[in-house]
């Protein structure tokens, strides 16, 4: 395939993805975390405003009750995404809450979109195969939960995207250890750290791989200074882009690190039908969630790919290995190190495996390693069989995503797919599906005031921001269950109100179903 044709195909591929994302980003509701995340951005923006121009800050300050940065209970989080989005909200004078969160959703997607481009470029460097790079990027995009999260998850998916970008510069640095690559890698590693502190894995993994490579190639002294420079640049860039660190970089970083390592949150997970505290999850919590929420074909390819790569580790000597070998080691480390760490340290985990979404590109990477193996088979019949199986599986995943839009975030593969799955696992734990049921009530209810009661442990106030002001004003959130016109639930920490026969006074008004399982239900009061 000619270079010009490859470029055209790549442009069409990414432009199509961009247009799809731009056309569907409005379909996702406002999650339970987004309101607090927005406030986090304005806390930092207020801090910067007071430092740069206090008078101007007073003029444009949106909320007089914004807490001070040093007293803010979420200051352990980085603000690389939140602060710029808050700034844009002020610049464009976006006042309606719905539009404020739509802006956030769109920019969330844009960052993920950029991340997919870098993933493509990363695969190009490793495999030097255009078709494989497009295929691997398609795996990433056609991952139902990842795709959906890319529109609203401003922590885990933004972090995943920056992790990909930093990984791209990591492998460039592994291949060619010079000042230019060192600087670029340090910058994006720091940005990743300033989103989630787990980004420190990136310089640690990169320097470890380079140490191994340089040791066996007898170039430790020759490359020592350029590798040490990464530590210096990462520290400098991390401080620059994280205002919380400015006053006392070392002390505040340690505080943030300890805060994230010992994250204190009182939440429970529905896991195989059992309510388990986030502080007391079973060791296989993350592996199980990966196994049941990832398309099966990707899992199978991952196991083949990681086996191929690990085989080369045990059966070949390091100093005979190419750069590709060390790149494989890098991604193996990025996948297994966090996974093993959360098991060993019994980390607080909740809401599925979203805290570890950043390891997913490594899973896809090894899936592509497997594809590279199968596509180079000498037996053409096996090649055609593999290609057919892969095509059918990708088509099936794409069709499922289209059919169940915008609820891709509750995807389960055929390992666990069954009825009443909401009794086994948390589904729409972030409450995104409230948006569609709110809209259904509004469409079918003539009253100006609608009293609604939430049966689940979600704050409806946050989810109402998916509606315009006029629509929001029609809803009255009542605390009196017996006085509500409607009951609504996403089954997250749902209480068994049937025990007090409350549902005898109501009938099912609407259900949002995914694979015949209800993820959000509205009950209407009987006349």
155 vs 78, which has greater pLDDT? 155
109, 147 in Cβ contact below 8 A?
no
Q: What pLDDT does residue 502 have?
A: 73
Quote the pLDDT of residue 422. Answer: 78
Q: What pLDDT is recorded for position 218?
A: 82
pLDDT band at 113 (very low <50, low <70, confident <90, very high): very high
- pLDDT the model gives residue 11: 96
Identify the pLDDT of residue 503: 74
Mean pLDDT on 190-209: 95
The SS3 call for residue 517 is: strand
The band of 168, judged by pLDDT with boundaries at 50, 70 and 90, is very high
172: part of which helix (H) or strand (E)?
A: helix 156-175
What Å distances lie between residue 98 and 31, 87, 108, 296, 359, CA to CA? 12, 17, 15, 37, 32
Across residues 257-282, what is the average pLDDT?
Answer: 81
- Is the model's pLDDT at 259 over the cut of 90? no
pLDDT at 223: 87
What's the confidence (pLDDT) of residue 499?
A: 44
Note the pLDDT tens digit of each residue in 87-103: 999 999 999 999 999 99
Query: Is residue 218 classed exposed, middle or buried when 0-12, 13-18 and 19+ CB atoms within 10 A define those classes?
Result: exposed
Beta bridge partners of 406: none
pLDDT above 70 as % of the chain: 93
Mean per-residue pLDDT of the chain? 90
Q: pTM for the whole thing? A: 0.95
- Structure-token pair, residue 366: 């090894």
Eight-state DSSP code of residue 425: B
Per-residue model confidence (pLDDT) at position 280: 87
Do residues 524 and 506 touch, judged by C-beta distance below 8 A? yes
Which residue's entry shows tokens 């083949």?
304
Neighbours of 297 (CB within 10 A): 18
User: What value does the mean pLDDT take over residues 61-84?
Assistant: 77
Determine what percent of the chain is predicted with pLDDT higher than 90. 65
Quick one: which of 518, 524, 516, 381 has its CA closest to 451?
A: 524
Provide the pLDDT confidence category of residue 220 given band limits of 50, 70 and 90.
confident
Q: Per-residue pLDDT tens for 19-44?
A: 999 999 999 999 988 998 998 898 88
pLDDT in tens, 399-455: 999 999 999 999 999 888 776 787 889 899 999 999 999 999 999 999 999 999 998
Work out the average pLDDT over 2-15: 92
pLDDT at position 261: 65
Mean pLDDT, range 143-162, rounded to an integer: 97
pLDDT of residue 260 exceeding 80, the answer is: no
């Amino acid at each position: 395939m000619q270079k010009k044709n490859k470029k055209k195909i790549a442009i069409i591929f990414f432009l199509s993805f961009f247009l799809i994302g731009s056309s569907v980003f409005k379909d996702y509701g406002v999650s339970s975390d987004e309101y607090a995340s927005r406030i986090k951005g304005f806390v930092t923006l207020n801090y910067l405003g007071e430092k740069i121009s206090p008078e101007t800050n007073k003029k444009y300050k949106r909320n007089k009750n914004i807490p001070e940065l040093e007293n803010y209970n979420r200051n352990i989080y980085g603000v690389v995404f939140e602060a710029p989005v808050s700034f844009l909200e002020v610049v464009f004078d976006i006042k309606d809450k719905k539009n404020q969160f739509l802006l956030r959703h769109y920019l969330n997607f844009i960052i993920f979109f950029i991340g997919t481009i870098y993933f493509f470029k990363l695969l190009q460097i490793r495999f030097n195969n255009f078709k494989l790079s497009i295929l691997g990027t398609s795996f990433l995009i056609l991952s139902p939960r990842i795709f959906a999260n890319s529109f609203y998850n401003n922590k885990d998916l933004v972090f995943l995207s920056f992790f990909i970008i930093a990984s791209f510069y990591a492998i460039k640095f592994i291949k060619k250890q010079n000042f230019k690559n060192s600087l670029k890698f340090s910058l994006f590693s720091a940005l990743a750290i300033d989103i989630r502190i787990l980004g420190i894995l990136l310089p640690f993994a990169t320097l470890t791989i380079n140490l191994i490579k340089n040791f066996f190639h007898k170039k430790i002294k020759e490359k020592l200074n350029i590798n040490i420079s990464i530590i210096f640049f990462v520290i400098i860039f991390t401080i620059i882009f994280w205002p919380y660190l400015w006053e006392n970089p070392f002390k505040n970083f340690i505080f943030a690190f300890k805060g994230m390592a010992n994250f204190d949150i009182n939440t429970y997970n529905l896991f195989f039908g059992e309510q388990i505290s986030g502080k007391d999850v079973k060791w296989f919590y993350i592996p199980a969630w990966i196994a049941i929420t990832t398309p099966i074909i990707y899992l199978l390819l991952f196991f083949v790919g990681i086996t191929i790569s690990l085989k080369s580790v045990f059966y070949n000597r390091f100093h005979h290995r190419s750069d590709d070998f060390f790149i494989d080691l890098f991604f193996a480390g990025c996948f297994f190190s966090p996974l093993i760490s959360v098991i060993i340290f019994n980390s607080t985990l909740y809401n599925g495996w979203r805290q570890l979404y950043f390891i997913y590109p490594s899973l896809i990477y090894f899936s592509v390693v497997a594809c590279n193996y199968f596509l180079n088979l000498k037996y053409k019949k096996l090649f055609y069989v593999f290609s057919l199986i892969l095509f059918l599986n990708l088509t099936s995943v794409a069709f499922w995503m289209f059919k169940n839009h915008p609820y891709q975030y509750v995807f389960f593969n055929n390992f666990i797919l069954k009825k009443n799955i909401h009794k086994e696992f948390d589904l729409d734990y972030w409450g995104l599906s409230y948006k569609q049921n709110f809209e259904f009530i509004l469409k079918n209810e003539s009253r100006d005031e609608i009293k609604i009661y939430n049966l689940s442990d979600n704050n409806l106030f946050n989810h109402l921001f998916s509606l315009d002001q006029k629509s929001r004003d029609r809803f009255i959130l009542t605390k009196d269950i017996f006085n509500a016109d409607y009951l609504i639930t996403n089954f997250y920490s749902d209480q068994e109100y049937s025990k007090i026969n409350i549902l005898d006074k109501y009938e099912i008004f609407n259900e949002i179903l995914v694979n015949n399982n209800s993820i959000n239900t509205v009950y209407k009061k009987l006349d």
